[in-house]
């Protein structure tokens, strides 16, 4: 039985794929064994050593190869592996096995009952779908992953088997991932009969002798129409990946994630086709952007995906210069990495001069977006800005990222509007001012040096006020607390309309929700918005603050007489005149009566309201008095 196996053979036991690395006897045992290296390393038990004797060597643990030390185990040579099949058989088994020659669906599957909690539910309409899929000559998207394919098959006239071109000639998207191919020559044989092929997925396969495969080296004409290629989890080196990709002259998208790559050579990258615009390198091991320096030769690359690569810095060592990638790269995905500080973000415009869209989410920096180096002080600073929960912490990180990257037009799939940028940059400027306030006088330059855009933002919005705790005298008014009554916009809307003339303004007679807080006058407007957001459960980015001054402003000449409504009566005019005389003579008209009187003047008076614009200005300079009323509006 041992003679039925050979080194490098691809097998499957209980649907688990493996590669034969040893065939023969094992000391201390009887019978023949095969030593295998499992694709799923957790299935293995050792590194190919039994009682101190090495029988097989695993794939070398270098870049792009299996790094697990226990991916091997011994299997009896008498054990029967899962039965392989050809490509044609796999297509028929998956898409046409349930449909008979007369078009009827086999009762064993088509009429099968499904039970949910003891209740039987029949499939309705699936027979029609199965009949449509059974038309193999019309299939365009074929997925055969994990179907144990080891050969092309077809063309055996004696057995009545059709060729691939006769069975399914219209395939444009083909997925033959995680099968039993030993060489890429078999894939070339399959694709040679698919003239309309545009996308090919070979994920999870284990190919040998890539460079020496003569069939592959002459396959450029066969892959001339393929635009997308996926080689994820193949454990190929970067040199092997580039060699394969060079056989696809029209390739635009290449996916090579989860291949344990740690660096990319420039020499190998030169083999990639000039048509390549999207490169997916997710879940590899690039700890620094300098590990990707080999990609600087790709002059037409537009999209670069580096999700989950454990990236932490720009350069792996201080002696290595930060790479500068082509200006054609517009989209960069560095989500799910280990970015825990802002210097890497600040360096992105230099390394990616054409960057306009970025994905940065799910990095440690989103959990602690503060500008200080000390995590505790950062959380304190963030709390002062109203980031009391996880949602607001994420929003703060979002705004700081937008402010640090001037050319950014989209962040985490959200478009950055001009208003978003203005809001983010002013918020960022206020945070820099808070950090400057935490250092001694004269040390502000050291803080500004850590923020490359500080001078630019000061030119746009002016230098922020740096208020230190020692500069605030408790005897001064600025050190006192302001009693603020926050009311929801519903309260303002309920009382905001003036009379027939439509004079605007929120009033104090609404019945909306009202909450009170004591706020230091030294806090900036951003901090006040954060407090209001927490009190009413709103997002700081989606609310506005309006200070209701309680004062009235004329909008027309006092002696102007508006046109009378046809329904007005002389009694109403007389009553209005009497109220006016009482008001002018101090006849005791109350505040509510005064409002009614002003409202009747045809819109000639409106309540004065001041919207608190997002800015680093101190709250004490935005309102007057120690008791104020602020309307909170959801936007």
In a domain? residue 325: no
Query: Is it the case that residue 388 has pLDDT exceeding 60?
Result: no
Residue 122's pLDDT band (cuts 50, 70, 90): low
Q: Which of 117-126, 136-145, 265-274 has the lowest mean pLDDT?
A: 117-126
Does one domain contain both 551 and 628? yes
For residue 15, what are the CA distances in angstroms to 151, 176, 466, 524? Answer: 18, 15, 66, 63
Region 262-283 average pLDDT: 97
Q: Give the model's confidence band at 604: pLDDT under 50 very low, under 70 low, under 90 confident, else very high.
A: low
Give me the pLDDT at residue 125, please. Answer: 54
Confidence of residue 389 (pLDDT cuts 50, 70, 90): very low
Same domain, residue pair 627 and 486: yes
- Same structural domain, 69 and 139: no
Q: Is 28 left (phi over 0), alpha (psi -120 to 50) or beta?
A: left
pLDDT tops 90 at residue 323 = yes
> 620: how many CB neighbours lie within 10 A of its CB?
18
Q: DSSP letter at 250?
A: T
Take residue 107 and report the two structure tokens written for it.
């009762």
Q: How far apart are CA 234 and CA 236, in angstroms?
A: 5
Residue 130 has a pLDDT of: 58
Same domain, 526 and 595: yes
Asked whether the beta carbons of 20 and 46 are under 8 A apart, the reply is: no
Evaluate whether 315 touches 371 at the Cβ level (below 8 Å).
no
Nearest alpha-carbon partner for 226 in 210, 244, 205, 207: 244
517 within a domain of the structure (yes/no): yes
- Beta bridge partners of residue 630, listed in sequence order: 486, 547
| 406 is a domain residue | no
Average of per-residue pLDDT values in the chain? 82
The H-or-E segment that residue 173 falls in is strand 173-175
Q: Could you tell me which of 351, 317, 316, 259 has the C-alpha nearest to residue 67? A: 259
64 falls within a domain: yes
The pLDDT assigned to 422 comes to: 93
Report pLDDT digits (tens) over 65-94. Answer: 555 678 899 999 999 999 999 999 999 999
Confidence at residue 353, expressed as pLDDT on a 0 to 100 scale:
97
Number of H helices, E strands in the chain: 19, 26
Q: How far is CA 6 from CA 23, 34, 77, 236, in A?
A: 7, 9, 11, 21
What CATH number corresponds to the domain at position 217?
Answer: 3.80.10
Number of domains in the chain: 3
Identify the residue with better confidence: 99 or 144.
144
Which segment of 18-32, 112-126, 259-273, 619-633 scores lowest on mean pLDDT?
112-126
* Residue range 230-257, pLDDT digits in tens: 999 999 999 999 999 999 999 999 999 9
Confidence band, pLDDT 50/70/90 cuts, at residue 564: very low
Sequence-distant (6+) residues with CB within 8 A of 290 are: 314, 315, 316, 320, 321, 322, 323
Asked whether residue 115 carries a pLDDT value surpassing 90, the answer given is: no
Residue of 438, 440, 420 whose CA lies nearest to 428:
420
Mean pLDDT, residues 408-425 taken together: 95
Residue ending a domain, choose from 226, 255, 289: 226
Average pLDDT over residues 610-623: 88
Q: What is the pLDDT of residues 338-374, one digit of tens each?
A: 999 999 999 999 999 999 999 999 999 988 887 544 4
62 and 97 co-located in one domain = no
Most confident by average pLDDT, 410-414, 497-501, 513-517, 546-550: 410-414
Same-domain pairing of 489 and 506: yes
Tell me which H or E stretch contains 598.
helix 591-599
pLDDT, one tens digit per residue, over 164-204 is 999 999 999 999 999 999 999 999 999 999 999 999 999 99
CA dist list (Å): 387 to 213, 380, 439, 487, 620: 58, 10, 23, 21, 21
More confident residue, 559 or 458: 458
What pLDDT score was predicted for residue 501?
Answer: 36
Interatomic CA distance for residues 68 and 22, integer angstroms = 18
Indicate the helix (H) or strand (E) that contains 215.
helix 214-217
Does residue 48 sit in the same domain as residue 93?
no
Q: Which residue has the higher pLDDT, 480 or 524?
A: 524
Residues spanned by the domain of 609: 477-560+572-634
Q: What angle do CA 343, 344, 347 make, to 5 degrees?
A: 85
Question: What pLDDT is stored for residue 594 in this prediction?
Answer: 47
For residue 311, the model assigns a pLDDT of 97
Q: Which of 23, 20, 26 is nearest to 1 (CA)?
A: 23
Top mean pLDDT of 27-36, 169-178, 536-545, 603-612 is at 169-178
Q: Are residues 60 and 133 part of one domain?
A: no
Q: Pick the last residue of a domain from 182, 206, 226.
A: 226
**pLDDT for position 27:** 87
Residue 330 per-residue DSSP state = -
Q: Would the pTM of this model clear 0.75, i.e. be above it?
A: no
For residues 252 and 228, is the Cβ–Cβ distance under 8 A?
Answer: yes
Alpha-carbon Rg for the chain in angstroms? 36
List, in sequence order, the alpha helices (H) in 336-469.
Answer: 343-351, 364-367, 375-384, 390-404, 418-437, 444-448, 454-461
DSSP string, 381-407: HHHHTT--SHHHHHHHHHHHHHHH-TT
554 in the same domain as 521? yes
Residue 165 lies in a domain: yes
Name the burial class of residue 353, with classes exposed (0-12), middle (13-18) and buried (19+) by CB atoms within 10 angstroms of its CB. Answer: middle
Point out the least confidently predicted range of 54-63, 213-222, 607-616: 54-63
The pLDDT of residue 560 is 44
User: Do 68 and 169 belong to one domain?
Assistant: no
Domain-embedded: residue 20: yes
């Amino acid at each position: 039985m041992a003679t039925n196996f050979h080194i490098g053979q691809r097998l499957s036991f209980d649907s688990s794929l493996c590669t034969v690395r040893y065939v023969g006897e094992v000391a201390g045992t009887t019978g023949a064994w095969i030593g295998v290296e499992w694709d799923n390393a957790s299935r293995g038990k050792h590194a190919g050593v039994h009682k101190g004797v090495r029988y097989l060597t695993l794939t070398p643990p270098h870049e792009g190869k299996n790094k697990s030390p226990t991916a091997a185990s011994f299997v009896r040579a008498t054990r029967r592996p899962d039965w392989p099949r050809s490509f044609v058989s796999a297509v028929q088994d998956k898409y046409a096995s349930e449909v008979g020659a007369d078009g009827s669906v086999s009762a064993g599957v088509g009429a099968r009952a499904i039970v949910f909690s003891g209740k039987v539910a029949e499939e309705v309409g699936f027979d029609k779908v199965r009949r449509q899929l059974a038309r193999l000559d019309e299939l365009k998207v074929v997925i055969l992953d994990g179907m144990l394919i080891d050969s092309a098959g077809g063309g055996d006239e004696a057995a009545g088997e059709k060729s691939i071109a006769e069975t399914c000639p219209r395939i444009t998207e083909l997925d033959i991932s995680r099968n039993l191919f030993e060489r890429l020559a078999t894939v070339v044989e399959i694709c040679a009969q698919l003239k309309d092929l545009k996308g090919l997925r070979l994920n999870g396969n284990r190919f040998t002798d890539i460079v020496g495969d003569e069939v592959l080296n002459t396959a450029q004409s066969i892959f001339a129409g393929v635009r997308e290629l996926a080689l994820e989890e193949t454990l190929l080196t970067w040199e092997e990946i580039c060699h394969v990709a060079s056989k696809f002259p029209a390739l635009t998208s290449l996916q090579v994630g989860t291949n344990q790559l740690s660096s990319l050579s420039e020499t190998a990258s030169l083999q990639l086709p000039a048509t390549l615009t999207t490169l997916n390198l997710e879940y590899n091991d690039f700890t620094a952007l300098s590990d990707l320096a080999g990609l600087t030769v790709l002059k037409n690359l537009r999209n670069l995906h580096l999700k989950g690569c454990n990236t932490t810095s720009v350069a792996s060592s201080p002696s290595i210069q930060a790479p500068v990638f082509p200006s054609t790269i517009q989209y960069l995905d560095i989500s799910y990495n280990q970015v825990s500080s802002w210097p890497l973000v600040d360096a992105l415009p230099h390394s990616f001069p054409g960057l306009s869209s970025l994905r940065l989410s799910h990095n440690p920096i989103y959990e602690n977006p503060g500008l200080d180096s000390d995590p505790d002080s950062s959380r304190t600073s963030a709390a002062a800005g109203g980031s009391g929960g996880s949602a607001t912490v994420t929003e703060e990180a979002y705004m700081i990222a937008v402010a640090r990257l001037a050319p950014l037009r989209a962040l985490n799939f959200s478009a950055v509007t001009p208003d978003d940028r203005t809001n983010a940059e002013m918020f960022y400027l206020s945070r820099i001012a808070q950090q400057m306030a935490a250092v001694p006088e004269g040390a502000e330059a050291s803080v500004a040096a850590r923020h490359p855009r500080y001078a630019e933002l000061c030119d746009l919005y002016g230098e922020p006020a740096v208020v230190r705790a020692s500069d605030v005298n408790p005897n001064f008014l600025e050190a006192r607390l302001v009693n603020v009554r926050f009311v929801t916009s519903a309260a303002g809307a309920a009382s905001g309309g003036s009379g027939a003339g439509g004079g605007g303004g929120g009033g104090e007679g609404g019945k909306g929700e009202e909450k009170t807080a004591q706020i230091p006058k030294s806090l900036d407007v951003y901090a006040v918005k954060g407090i209001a957001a927490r009190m009413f459960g709103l997002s700081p980015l989606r609310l506005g603050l309006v200070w209701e001054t309680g004062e009235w402003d004329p909008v027309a000449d006092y002696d102007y007489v508006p046109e009378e409504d046809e329904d007005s009566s002389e009694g109403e005019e007389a009553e209005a005149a009497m109220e006016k005389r009482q008001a002018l003579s101090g006849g005791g008209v109350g505040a509510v009566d005064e409002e009614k009187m002003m409202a009747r003047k045809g819109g000639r008076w409106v309540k004065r309201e001041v919207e608190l614009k997002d800015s680093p200005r101190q709250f004490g300079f935005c309102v007057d008095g120690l008791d104020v009323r602020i309307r909170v509006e959801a936007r």
